[in-house]
Homo-oligomer: A and B are copies of this chain.
Amino acid sequence: MPNPTAAMLVIGDEILSGRTRDANMHHLAGALTKHGIDLKEVRMVSDDAPAITAAVRALSAGFDHLFTSGGIGPTHDDITADCVAAAFGRAIDIRDDARAVLQAHYDRTGTELNEARLRMARIPDGATLIDNPISAAPGFTIENTHVMAGVPQIFEAMVASVLPTLTGGAPLLSQSLRIERGEGDIAGPLRTLSEDFPDLSFGSYPYSHSGAFGAHIVIRGHDGARLDAAIQALSRLFPDDAS
């Protein structure tokens, strides 16, 4: 049975302007691979309602799971929750359970639950809350879509609480070999090898440094013994250049 599929939607002007380098995509990709869910597509859009809503519709329909990151804070540019509600045709308002979570947190820290902070209790009808152990304001899951914060520390905590609730497939295993030859010398033998192991996937990731060219060959699959066999066959093809 093939693994479940997933997409990710990263929301925020700061990524697209080059000001901030996204870290959440890389984290989620690694966590999903370990859990046996195949991340198939990532989109990054700005804080623009039609763009967010359209992306949520397309990705939630196209994959088993959608994970979003960003745009659920208290400021006026945080519009993700409303866009997700619109994408699923749900009403959205301040919800008592989310408000109670925030109230308890701010009572503990002696902070006022003002109008801006109350925005973070806006949750679409029918969604279940995702726990935020860092700063209380919850994420939520609606249908197959998991809406999480953009701050990496909070995003990672939310991923850690959502992933165990999802059925994963066989974790994708990988082994790699560095070959100190130009990719053009590797390509022919690699294609033949990949035809001998149709159950595995073969990737070639070229590098260059100090004028020397080479490639990392990464073999992926679900059967460790087959991976071992393929990596040994590969290293026999390049006895002097593989490490």
Contacts and interface: CB of A to CB of B under 8 A. Distances in A.
Q: Is the interface of A mostly helix, strand, loop or mixed?
A: mixed
B74 A220 contact: no
- Identical chains bound together, number: 2
Interface string A175-196: 0000000111111101100100
Contacts of A207: 151
A51 interface: yes
A80 to B, nearest CB: 14
A203 B47 contact: yes
Contact of A74 (B30, B184, B194): B184
Nearest to A215: B75
A207 B134 CA distance: 11
B30 A42 contact: no
A16 B43 contact: no
A: contact size bracket: 35 or more
A187 B40 contact: no
Contact of A45 (B17, B40, B185, B206): B40
A141 interface: no
Interface in A1-35: 12-22, 25-33
Nearest to A46: B40
Contacts of A73: 183, 187, 204, 206
A196 to B, nearest CB: 13
Interface in A35-88: 39-48, 51, 73-78
Interface in A187-221: 187-188, 190-191, 194, 201-208, 213, 215, 218, 220
Interface of A: 12-22, 25-33, 39-48, 51, 73-78, 111, 114-117, 119-120, 134-135, 151, 153-154, 172, 174, 182-188, 190-191, 194, 201-208, 213, 215, 218, 220
Given A18-B30, A74-B187, 17 more contacts: A12-B205, A13-B201, A14-B203, A17-B39, A18-B27, A18-B29, A18-B39, A47-B203, A73-B183, A74-B184, A75-B190, A75-B215, A76-B190, A114-B184, A116-B184, A117-B182, A153-B208
